[in-house]
Amino acid sequence: MSGAAGPGRAPLPCAARAAAALQLPGGAEAARPGVAVIDLRFPRGGAADVHEIVFKNFYTAFLSVRVQRAGPPGPRRWVTCLRDHRLMPSPHTEEGSQDYFSLRRHQMLCDMEQVTALRFILRQPSPAWLHFSIEELQVFPPAQKSPQKDFPSWLSQLTPPEQPASPHGELPDPEKVSTEVQQMWVLTEVIRARQAAARIGRFDVDGCYDVNLLSYT
Amino acid sequence: MLDPDSGLSLTIARIVRRLQGSSLHSQLERQARVSLHKPEIKLESLKEDIKDFLKTSGWEKKLQNAVYSELNVFPSPCHPAAPPEHMKEPLAYMRKAQRPASEQKELLNKWNEMGTDEPDLSLFRPVYAPKDFLEVLMNLRNPNYENGEQPSFRNHLGLIQVPLKVKDIPELKEDFSELGLNTGQLGIDDSAQVPPEFFENEHVRVGQKVLAEQDSAAAQQYVRQGCPTALRADLWALILNISNQPEDILYYEQLKSNVIQYDLLVDSLIYKDVKLTASNDDYYFVFEDYLYQVLLCFSRDTSVLEHFTYSSATPPKSYIRGKLGIEEYAVFYPPNGVIPFHGFSMYVAPLCFLYHEPSKLYQIFREMYVRFFFRLHSISSHPSGIVSLCLLFETLLQTHLPQLFYHLREIGAQPLRISFKWMVRAFSGYLATDQLLLLWDRILGYNSLEILAVLAAAVFAFRAVNLMEVTSLAAAEAVLADLSTLKVMPLLQIFLFATVT
C-alpha cells in the first residue's frame, strides 16, 4: 500500500473512512448517485501541515477536497482547497482511470497548515462504471531540510606522522605507495559512479537453451 | 500526474543515465580529448571552446539525434509512486490478459509431442495466427465496466468491448495535417501526369539537404510527406538513429556465429513461417535467404529484451529442469523474449528492398520492431496498441459509414474480422510494395500506428458500394481479398479530408 516516498519523507499516519456514496433522504436502495465521500482524520485529533497528497485513481472523474483546520474553538468550518479537479479527461473512456496522482500545496486554494481533517468528494458522472474510488491515499508533510551527511570517520581521524625505522630498502617508499593507492581509489570511485549501460556481453548458451534441459513445470 | 518541472528533470535524468554508458559517450569523450591538440582551444575558455568544436564537427548533432531517439521510444516518466508494471501498462485488467502463460503451455505441449532429432516441419503448427489473437481481444472485458445484457450505448456494436479513448476525424485531421489536400505528397503529386517541377524536384532537394544535415527530427518531419525512393534507406536509418558502426557489425557477426553453432527450437517455427508466407509471395520470395539471416539472428538477440521495460508484455521464462522457481537457473526462451507468430516474417520482407547489407538490414528491422511492431501483437492500452487500433477502426467505420457497418454486421461479417489481419501485419503482403513503403514512411514520420486503422477504414469506404451488395462473410472477404492495386495516399486523403461528415 505504500508508495515510494521522497527522501526524508514519510506519509503522515491517518485513518481514512471508506468511500460513502451519497444517499437521498428516505433511504432508497442502490441507485448509483455518482458522488462519494472519503473522510480522513489524523489520529488522536491531531493536526498537521499538509504539503502533498498522493493517491491512485480508480475510475473517479472529478475530485474536490475540503479541509478542516485547527482554529478558534467553536463550530469548525470546511474550507474548499481543491474544486473539481479533473482526473479523467474523458469520463466515459479509460484514460487516466487507474493512474497515480499528486496534489501539491501550490495547487490548493487555501492554506494547508494545521489541518485536522480532509474530505475527498469524488464524482463520476458516467453511468458506464460500476464502482469508483481512490486508493492508496497518502498525505505528506512539508519536507524537512536534510541533515548534514556525516563525514566518514576515518577522514576526520588524522594519524600522526610516524617515523618508522627504515627497513633495508627492499620495501617500497611509503609515500609513493600511498599516492598510487590514492590514485587507484579515485579511479575505482569514478568507475563505480559511471556504470556503463551499454551491453558488452552476448547471450551465453553453454547448453542452457537445450530443449531437454528446460521445463516449465 | 507529475507537474511539468519534476517531469522534465526526471526525463533528463533518465536520458542522461541511458546515454552515459553508450558508445556515443565514449566517442564524444575521445573527440573532446583529441580536440585539445587544436590551436583554437584555449585553456581559459576550455569548456566553451570544446562545446563549439563539438558543434561544428557535427558531434552535437549526433548527440541531439540520440536524445531525440530516446524521447521517441520511451514513454514519459510516471508518477514516482507508480510501480514499474504500471508504467508498462496502467490498466490492471489488461496486464492480467497477457498471453505468456498460454503461449508457454502451448510450446510445452509441442515439445512433448515431437522428436528432438530432426525437425519434421509437418509436426509444427504455428504458435498462433492472427485469428486466435483476435479471439483473445474480443474477450477482453473491464470488470468495472457495465456490460449489461440490454443493448445500450455502452455495448459497442463492433467486436472490441473495451472503452478506450480513440480519436475522431477532426482530431485525426489535426494530427495528420501534413496529409492534407493543400500539401504535396509523394504517392499523389509524383504521378506521371503531374510535372515534377510542381512538387517532386523541390521535395527531393529538401530531402538531400536533410540528409546532409544529419538531423533526426528534421528527417522525421520530412518523411511525413513521403520519401523519395533513392533517399529512403538513408532517411529511415537517420530517423531510427542507426549508424552501422563497427561495433554494430561485430555484434551482428557474433549473432551469426551463434546461429551457426547453436540450435534453437524457435528456428523451426521461423523456417515454417517463412516457407508459408514470404516464399509464397510474388514480391518477396527472392529474399528468402535474407529473411532467414535476419530472423534467426533476431531470436538470439538478448538486447531486444530491453523493450520489455515499456511493453505491456513479459517475455516467457523457463527454468532448467528440476530447478523451477530458482532465479539463477531461469532463462528467457527464446533469448529475445519474442515468440514468432504466423506471419512474423512479413515484418522483415519489405525492408529487404531497401537494405542489402545484412547487418544494416538487421539493425533497421530490430529498431522498427522495438519501436512499432511489438505493439501489434501485445495487449495494451497504448494509443498505438492493437486494441486501440481495432477500436479506432470500428469507431471510424461506425461513425462515417453507418449503413455499411450495419449491413455487414447483419450478414455476420463484422468488419474487424476482415481488417484485423491487415493491421496486425501493418499491411505487409497485402499492398503493393511501393505503396506499402509510402505507408511505412508515414508510420515513421508520425511515430504512431494509427494510420493503419485509418487506412483500413478508408479501404472499406472505397469498396463500400460493392460491400453493400454482398450477403455473406465469404463474399465480403472476396471483395476485399486483393488490395494490391490500391493507392494508399489518395485513399487516406479522401477519407480524412474530403469526406463530407
Per-residue pLDDT reduced to its tens digit, A103-144 = 998 889 988 888 888 999 999 999 888 889 998 888 888 877
Q: Do A197 and B21 touch (CB under 8 A)?
A: yes
HEC profile for B391-446?
HHHHHHHHHHCHHHHHHHHHCCCCHHHHHHHHHHCCCCCCCCHHHHHHHHHHHHHH
Q: Do B81 and A194 touch (CB under 8 A)?
A: no
Quote the CA–CA distance of B291 and A98 in Å, as a whole number: 41
Report whether pLDDT(B149) > 70.
Answer: no
Question: Which residues in chain A are closer than 8 Å to B301, comparing Cβ atoms?
Answer: 203
B165 touches chain A (CB under 8 A): yes
A73 or B40, greater pLDDT = B40
When pLDDT is averaged across residues B158-165 and rounded to a whole number, the result is 90
Quote the CA–CA distance of B418 and B479 in Å, as a whole number: 10
Nearest chain B CA: its distance from A7 CA (Å): 12
B220 or B120, greater pLDDT = B220
Q: Do A98 and B80 touch (CB under 8 A)?
A: no
How crowded is residue A60: how many other Cβ atoms within 10 Å of its Cβ? 27
C-alpha cell at A172: 617500497
Nearest chain A CA: its distance from B262 CA (Å): 8
Q: Do B22 and A131 touch (CB under 8 A)?
A: no
Question: Which residues in chain B are closer than 8 Å to A127, comparing Cβ atoms?
Answer: 146, 154
B179 or A212, greater pLDDT = B179
When pLDDT is averaged across residues A160-165 and rounded to a whole number, the result is 53
When pLDDT is averaged across residues B59-85 and rounded to a whole number, the result is 82
A146 contact partners, CB below 8 Å, separation of at least 6 = A7, A8
pLDDT at A199 (0 to 100): 56
When pLDDT is averaged across residues A17-36 and rounded to a whole number, the result is 72
Angle at B172 between CA B169 and CA B176, to 5 degrees: 140
Quote the CA–CA distance of B438 and B350 in Å, as a whole number: 11
Give ipTM to 2 decimals.
0.80
Q: Decide: helix, strand or coil at residue B63.
A: helix
B321 touches chain A (CB under 8 A): yes
Q: Do B321 and A127 touch (CB under 8 A)?
A: no
A-to-B residue pairs, Cβ atoms closer than 8 angstroms: 128
Residues B296, B274 contacting (CB under 8 angstroms): no
Quote the CA–CA distance of B121 and B422 in Å, as a whole number: 26
Of all residues in chain B, the percent with pLDDT exceeding 90 is: 45
pLDDT at A45 (0 to 100): 75
Report whether pLDDT(B127) > 50.
Answer: yes
C-alpha cell at B334: 527464446
Of A4, A127, A216, the CB nearest to B108: A216
Q: Do A136 and B3 touch (CB under 8 A)?
A: no
The dihedral region occupied by B411, where left means phi > 0, alpha psi between -120 and 50, and beta the remainder, is: alpha
B342 or A64, greater pLDDT = A64
Residue B164: band (very low, low, confident or very high) from pLDDT cuts 50, 70, 90:
very high
A193 touches chain B (CB under 8 A): no
Nearest chain A CA: its distance from B174 CA (Å): 19
List own/partner pairs for A80-87 with CB under 8 A and 24 or more apart.
Answer: A80/A109, A80/A110, A81/A108, A81/A109, A81/A110, A81/A112, A82/A107, A82/A108, A82/A109, A83/A109, A84/A123, A86/A61, A86/A62, A87/A57, A87/A60, A87/A61, A87/A62, A87/A63
Bridge partner residues of B399 (DSSP):
none
Report whether pLDDT(B250) > 90.
Answer: yes
Tell me: the pLDDT tens digits for B452-466? 999 999 999 999 999
Report whether pLDDT(A73) > 50.
Answer: yes
Give DSSP secondary structure letters for B224-283: TT---HHHHHHHHHHHTT----HHHHHHHHHHHHHHHH---HHHHHHHHHHHHTGGGSTT
* Pure H helices in chain A: 153-156, 174-193
Residues B420, B457 contacting (CB under 8 angstroms): no
Task: Output the CA–CA distances (angstroms, integers) from residue B198 to A114, B221, B330, B379, in the order listed.
Answer: 71, 20, 61, 44
A185 or A215, greater pLDDT = A185
pLDDT at B251 (0 to 100): 92
Q: Do B81 and A195 touch (CB under 8 A)?
A: no
When pLDDT is averaged across residues A51-63 and rounded to a whole number, the result is 92
Report whether pLDDT(A10) > 90.
Answer: no
pLDDT at B296 (0 to 100): 92
In 3D, which of A79, A41, A39, A32 has the Cα closest to residue A59?
Answer: A32
- Among the listed ranges A4-13, A109-118, A174-183, which one has the minimum average pLDDT value? A4-13
C-alpha cell at A102: 499528486
In 3D, which of B486, B463, B491, B485 has the Cα closest to residue B475?
Answer: B463
Top mean pLDDT of A148-162, A164-178, B97-111 is at A164-178
pLDDT at B2 (0 to 100): 53
Element (H, E) at A63: strand A62-69
Nearest chain B CA: its distance from A167 CA (Å): 43
Quote the CA–CA distance of A143 and A153 in Å, as a whole number: 28
Q: Do A94 and B142 touch (CB under 8 A)?
A: yes
When pLDDT is averaged across residues A149-178 and rounded to a whole number, the result is 62
Report whether pLDDT(A161) > 70.
Answer: no
pLDDT at B192 (0 to 100): 82
pLDDT at A2 (0 to 100): 36
In 3D, which of B287, B294, B286 has the Cα closest to residue B270?
Answer: B294
Chain A nearest-CA residue for B105: A216
Axis crossing angle, helix B229-239 with helix B216-223, rounded to the nearest 10: 130
pLDDT at B459 (0 to 100): 97
B161 touches chain A (CB under 8 A): no
Quote the CA–CA distance of A163 and A161 in Å, as a whole number: 7
Q: How many CA atoms, within 13 angstroms, populate the side-chain half-sphere of residue B392?
A: 26
pLDDT at A101 (0 to 100): 92
CA-CA-CA-CA dihedral for B366, B368, B371, B373, to nearest 10: -100
- Among the listed ranges B61-75, B149-163, B385-399, which one has the minimum average pLDDT value? B149-163
Question: Which residues in chain A are closer than 8 Å to B302, comparing Cβ atoms?
Answer: 199, 202-203
Report whether pLDDT(A1) > 70.
Answer: no
Tell me which residues of chain B, numbers 232 to 291, contact chain A at a CB-CB cutoff of 8 Å.
251, 254-255, 258, 261-262, 264-265
Quote the CA–CA distance of B415 and B390 in Å, as a whole number: 10
Report whether pLDDT(A84) > 70.
Answer: yes
Look up residue A144 and give its amino acid.
Answer: Q
Q: Do A215 and B324 touch (CB under 8 A)?
A: yes
pLDDT at A25 (0 to 100): 65
Average pLDDT, chain B: 86
Tell me which residues of chain B, numbers 382 to 411, contact chain A at a CB-CB cutoff of 8 Å.
none
Of A101, A130, A211, the CB nearest to B1: A101
Quote the CA–CA distance of B359 and B254 in Å, as a whole number: 11
pLDDT at B392 (0 to 100): 96
Q: Do B165 and A90 touch (CB under 8 A)?
A: yes
Top mean pLDDT of A13-17, B127-131, B300-304 is at B300-304
C-alpha cell at A103: 496534489
B364 or B313, greater pLDDT = B364
pLDDT at B451 (0 to 100): 96
Tell me which residues of chain A, numbers 168 to 187, contact chain B at a CB-CB cutoff of 8 Å.
none
Bridge partner residues of B331 (DSSP):
B318
Q: Do A209 and B335 touch (CB under 8 A)?
A: yes
Q: Determine which of A59, A203, A210 to mutate to test the interface with B (most B C-beta atoms within 10 Å).
A: A203
When pLDDT is averaged across residues B297-310 and rounded to a whole number, the result is 89
Chain A nearest-CA residue for B298: A203
Nearest chain A CA: its distance from B355 CA (Å): 25
Report whether pLDDT(B394) > 90.
Answer: yes
Report whether pLDDT(B366) > 70.
Answer: yes
Question: Which residues in chain B are closer than 8 Å to A56, comparing Cβ atoms?
Answer: 81
Element (H, E) at A52: strand A52-58
Quote the CA–CA distance of A168 and A201 in Å, as a whole number: 48
Residue A98: exposure state from Cβ atoms within 10 A (0-12, 13-18, ≥19): buried
* Pure H helices in B330-385: 358-371
When pLDDT is averaged across residues B468-482 and rounded to a whole number, the result is 94
B498 contact partners, CB below 8 Å, separation of at least 6 = B181
